[in-house]
């Protein structure tokens, strides 16, 4: 019973790590990456649709993104979405292709990005702690129902805490790597 709960918590915490990695890829570092804009939601005929479902996104150069919409009617909506995003990007369109030059980051903007990284990592910590809380409640519930003994519950709680510490440390490592990447000139 406890092994099942621990494996469930491991699986859920791994998903939290993957979600954090996806979030961190959306923070721009001065280099062009399709991941910067891929998940932006564009109003496409009244439905919010991820940009990567509306267009091909490529980075032919280190400081340029190209977006080729499959439906030319979506160009205006894509441009508006990019301008409204907090990425600080200015798209330019020729009617067929949207070009997005990636400007160099100022030191002030880099510091803002680092703060954003720390907020996203803290959100990841909260999600891992919430998973831990849910599993602790389950363990206490099954111990009260006499399905497991107190010793087994305590061992499971110790393993759960070690697992939580491991994932929190991994999130902190991701934050440090992203911070180094942002602050590198």
pLDDT in tens, 15-41: 999 999 988 887 766 677 788 888 889
Gap between the Cα atoms of 126 and 120, Å rounded: 10
pLDDT of residue 30: 66
Q: What pTM does this model have?
A: 0.70
pLDDT digits (tens, 9 = 90+) for 143-157: 888 888 888 989 999
- Which tokens belong to 34? 């399709």
Task: Let me know if residue 30 belongs to a domain.
Answer: no
Does one domain contain both 113 and 176? yes
119/136 same-domain check: yes
- Please, what is the average pLDDT of the chain? 88
Q: What is the pLDDT of residue 40?
A: 86
Whether 146 is covered by a domain: the verdict is yes
Residue 136: how many CA atoms within 13 Å on its side-chain side? 12
CA-CA-CA-CA torsion sign (140, 145, 150, 154): negative
Host domain of residue 95? 35-101
Whether 21 and 110 share a structural domain: yes
Q: Assess whether 64 and 133 both reside in one domain.
A: no
Over 70: is that where the pLDDT of 10 sits? yes
* Comparison of pLDDT for 104 and 117, the residue scoring more: 117
Q: Which of 73, 101, 129 corresponds to the end of one domain? A: 101
Question: What integer pLDDT is reported at residue 185 of this predicted model?
Answer: 56
Question: Is 40 among the domain residues?
Answer: yes
Count of C-beta atoms within a 10 Å radius of residue 39 = 14
Total domains in the fold of the chain: 2
């Amino acid at each position: 019973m406890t092994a099942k709960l621990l494996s469930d918590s491991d699986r859920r915490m791994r998903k939290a790590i993957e979600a954090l990695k996806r979030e961190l890829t959306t923070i721009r570092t001065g280099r062009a990456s399709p991941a910067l804009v891929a998940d932006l939601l564009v109003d496409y005929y009244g439905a919010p649709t991820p940009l990567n479902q509306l267009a091909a996104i490529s980075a032919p150069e280190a400081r340029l993104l190209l977006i080729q919409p499959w439906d030319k009617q979506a160009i205006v909506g894509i441009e508006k979405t990019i301008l409204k995003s907090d990425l600080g990007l200015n798209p330019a369109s020729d009617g067929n292709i949207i070009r997005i030059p990636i400007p160099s980051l100022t030191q002030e903007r880099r510091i803002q990005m680092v703060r954003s990284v720390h907020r996203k990592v803290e959100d990841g910590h909260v999600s891992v702690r919430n998973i831990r809380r849910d599993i602790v409640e389950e363990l206490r519930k099954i111990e009260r129902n006499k399905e497991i003994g107190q010793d087994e519950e305590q061992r499971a709680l110790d393993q759960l805490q070690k697992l939580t510490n491991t994932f929190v440390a991994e999130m902190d490592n991701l934050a440090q790597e992203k911070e180094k990447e942002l602050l590198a000139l």
